[in-house]
Chains A and B, each alone.
Chain A
């Protein structure tokens, strides 16, 4: 039984030029679509942490992981999908706000979603929301009727719960 589902991969890579290109190119070569990709520094100097979200059945994702490992700068890949990881995304949403509905929007955003208003003009508001991708989706759905001018989403980052860490196992190779 082949079940296609969303996989969240945490990829630790050497922080060198061209590495993102190699990773993204591999997805393209192998015909995978990337739903989300977010990159930043990790706890280890010289290592970047990429969180990747892609759709696929387990076997295809396993193949993808193996192919990713062939990229020289990839140190470690962990599929955290089945670990119920903490997943967070940041979004900035600019909505149309009128005199009449402004207070409705503010109440909805702050009370229900614990989001913040980070900018206001006479005819617009910028909402900053952090949370699971579902929460961000939900907020966007709710404010859509007011008129969305612009959305910027950071892509998902993920971390396993509890003591488990995604740590590199680095041993230099002697040539």
Chain B
């Protein structure tokens, strides 16, 4: 059990008198950046840092696979708004981080990955456990670097954290050769960073704000699409004020969930491939789209040429490269979402859109949440709806990727930011359990539910051991339909029901839970759902519930990949088939 008994000295603010090993300087630099937790896994090339680790006030979480270290750092960052840190050795340790780093890149998550590297004397010699990790992660990091000498440790780590958390956040990898860790030196004081090529625009240009306000004033059917940028910049309050003042409805991207309260009358819920029908119809009919902190991902737009065909576009984003990438933008606003909304609020007077809002309301049809399907089998949507009801919508919810993810996105109606943690851009299966670990470590007071599929959970269920070691308040809800469900749904709809390699077996999750010393239950009938959820909530610490659900249930509505709103498949259309 990872219970800390060793006394941990505070890092002194005094200048060092004696030179210290680079490994110590690395940890001192991390402590200086406010790091309290590292998710990691030791190995040869990072051993000096692990040797020094017990002497610093950093809680190290020993994961069971480095991929989970990166996912956990990601979940920690999303739940807390701080920079998440993962650490691994060279070679396989470093390459195992890759999926998690790519995930953080796609979803703009601030993480810093520390990797050990073989000594510089053998770099390039194909040494044992050597890989060119900076080369490998070049396209999936915001920045990466190799520390070449002990003097660079302080500035490099300072730079890594600064880059990870500022502007459009993202992952930064710092590779540290073993000889640097073993060389003695001094930690350079924090200093002004000279980064002439890195100057993110925070406050948008006033003229663009005026142009945006003018378009908003003239629009009859405006719609806000709020993305992850709202949560990153902490713009929820400003967005609520702006939406209320202008009476403009708000659709959320998958990662925007929680950025605007789901219970707010102006909230339309999620948009896109599996978005609510009324929300997507609103996009289709809108005459103005205001995209804020979102990137018009293809899971949102479908076929770009038919996305919002009647609308002019205002796009607010901190990353200028996102503007005009997918859609022709009439008013580009480069800057932080919160700053942009503040300026817009100064610019714009109260507006009314009663006709438009009542039109959208008339299109509303709730997502179906019947307890059981045609054969009396448990329906997955019901499980999520009950989870939402019993936790009063207040839990932190993480997911893997697939059908359960979409049902949770549709039905776990989040009211506050940093509550919804899901792999959006990369769509990484196996994300749910380790990201829940990160969230639970970062927010120990929170109730954390990892809603996962039977496919995804089998990618990272080794982390049950970590959850139990750390006694995290993580409740794992496995939605087991015996299939790689979302792939099966695509096979059903677009590949003539050829269920090639999508039926997947599972271990006995209750026995598995016991094997990991994790209380576990199985639920097969609607009547057992509430009791099981309440059971898991009745104690602090890990719990596992397997919900055995209707195997061939689909996620609706659905806009097929590359389609438009007109191609939407709704559950009513296929009802006769069941």
Residue numbers of A with Cβ under 8 A of B are 13-14, 18, 21-22, 25-26, 29, 59, 62-63, 66-67, 69-75, 168, 170-175
Q: Can you identify 30 A-B contacts, CB atoms within 8 angstroms?
A: A18-B134, A21-B135, A22-B138, A25-B138, A62-B324, A63-B324, A66-B320, A66-B321, A66-B325, A69-B197, A69-B320, A69-B321, A70-B321, A72-B163, A72-B195, A72-B198, A73-B197, A74-B197, A75-B197, A168-B196, A172-B193, A172-B196, A173-B193, A173-B194, A173-B195, A173-B196, A173-B199, A174-B192, A175-B158, A175-B162
Give the nearest-CB partner of A168 in chain B. Answer: B196
B220 CB-CB contact with A under 8 Å: no
* Closest residue on chain B to residue A67 by CB atoms: B321
Residues of B within 8 A of A26 (CB): 139
Known pairs A29-B139, A63-B324; A71 contacts B199 (CB<8 A): no
Asked if B196 and A170 sit within 8 Å, CB to CB, the answer is yes
Within 8 A of A (CB), among B285-335: 319-321, 323-325
Closest A residue by C-beta to B159: A175
- Contact residue among A29, A59, A70 (Cβ-Cβ distance under 8 Å from B324): A59
Closest A residue, CB atoms, query B144 = A18
Rounded to whole angstroms, the CA-CA distance of A69 and B323 in the bound complex is: 13
Q: In the complex the two chains form, what is the Cα distance from A170 to B194 in whole Å?
A: 10
Inter-chain CA distance A74–B321, complex, in Å, is 14
- Which residues of B have CB within 8 Å of A172? 192-196
Q: How far is the CA of A67 from the CA of B324 in the complex (A)?
A: 12
Nearest opposing residue in chain A for B190, CB measure:
A175
- A67-B321, A69-B320, A72-B143 given; A14·B196 CB < 8 A: yes
Name B's A-contacting residues (CB within 8 A): 134-135, 138-139, 143, 158-159, 162-163, 190, 192-199, 319-321, 323-325
Q: How far is the CB of B137 from chain A (nearest CB, A)?
A: 11
Would you call A21 and B143 a contact (CB within 8 A)?
Answer: no
Q: Would you list the 4 A-B pairs with minimal beta carbon distance, nearest first?
A: A66-B321, A170-B196, A175-B193, A175-B162
Look across to chain A and name the residue whose beta carbon is closest to the beta carbon of B162. A175
Shortest C-beta distance, B34 to chain A (Å), equals 13
Which residues of the other chain, A, contact B190 by a CB distance below 8 angstroms?
A: 175
The B interface, classified by DSSP as helix, strand, loop or mixed, is: loop
**Across the two chains, which residue of chain B brings its CB closest to A22?**
B138
Q: State the CA gap A175–B193 with chains docked (Å).
A: 6
Residues of B within 8 A of A74 (CB): 197
For B163, list chain A residues within 8 Å (CB). 72
Q: Smallest Cβ distance from A78 to chain B, in angstroms?
A: 14
List 14 extra interface pairs beyond A66-B321, A175-B190, CB under 8 A. A21-B138, A59-B324, A62-B324, A63-B321, A66-B320, A69-B197, A70-B319, A72-B163, A168-B196, A170-B196, A171-B196, A171-B199, A175-B162, A175-B193
CA distance A67 to B163 in the complex (A): 16
Max count, chain B CB within 10 A of own CB: residue among A59, A70, A71:
A70
Give Cα A62 to B192, complex, Å: 32
Within the complex, what minimum Cβ distance (angstroms) separates B327 from chain A? Answer: 11
Chain A, residue nearest B161 (CB)? A175
| Distance between Cα atoms of A69 and B318 in the complex (Å) | 13
Contact between A14 and B197, CB atoms less than 8 A apart? yes
* A172 vs B197: C-alpha distance when bound (angstroms): 9
Q: Is the CB of B325 within 8 A of A72?
A: no
Q: Contacts of A70 on B, CB cut-off 8 Å?
A: 319, 321
Residues of chain B within 8 A of A63, CB atoms compared: 321, 324-325
What residues of chain A lie closer than 8 Å to B194, measured between beta carbons?
172-173
- Cα-based distance from A75 to B194 in the complex (angstroms): 12
Inter-chain contacts of A59 with B (CB < 8 A): 324
Q: Whole-angstrom distance between the alpha carbons of A18 and B135 in the complex?
A: 9
Cross-interface CB contact of A72 among B158, B197, B323, B324, cutoff 8 Å: B197
CB contacts (< 8 Å) of B134 on chain A: these are: 18
Return B525 CB to nearest CB of chain A, in Å.
Answer: 50
Bound CA–CA A82/B192 (angstroms): 39
Which of A25, A71, A75, A175 is the one whose CB lies under 8 Å from B192?
Answer: A175
CB pair A173 B138 closer than 8 Å: no
With a cutoff of 8 Å between Cβ atoms, the chain A residues found around residue B193 in the complex are 172-175
Shortest distance between the CB of A70 and any CB in chain B (Å): 6
Q: Which residue of the partner chain A has the closest CB to B148?
A: A17
Query: A171 vs B135: C-alpha distance in the bound complex, in angstroms?
Result: 29
Cβ contacts under 8 Å, B192 to chain A: 172-175
Most chain A beta-carbon neighbours within 10 Å: one of B162, B193, B196, B324: B196
Distance in angstroms between the alpha carbons of A67 and B323 in the assembled complex? 11
Q: Which residues of chain B are near A22, meaning CB under 8 Å?
A: 138
**Which residues of chain A are within 8 angstroms of B196 by Cβ–Cβ distance?**
14, 75, 168, 170-173
Flag if B162 contacts A71 (CB, 8 Å): no
- Complex: A36 Cα to B64 Cα, angstroms: 47
Q: A15 vs B138: C-alpha distance in the bound complex, in angstroms?
A: 18
Q: With the chains together, A149 CA to B11 CA distance in Å?
A: 67
Return B168 CB to nearest CB of chain A, in Å: 8
By the criterion CB–CB under 8 Å, are A25 and B143 in contact?
Answer: no
Instruction: Report Cα–Cα, A170/B320, bound state, in Å.
Output: 19
- What is the CB-to-nearest-CB distance from B195 to chain A, in angstroms, rounded to a whole number? 5
Q: Once the chains are docked, how many angstroms separate the CA of A26 from the CA of B134? A: 14
Instruction: Report the bound CA distance from A21 to B320 in whole Å.
Output: 22
Assembled-state Cα–Cα distance A22/B139 (Å): 8
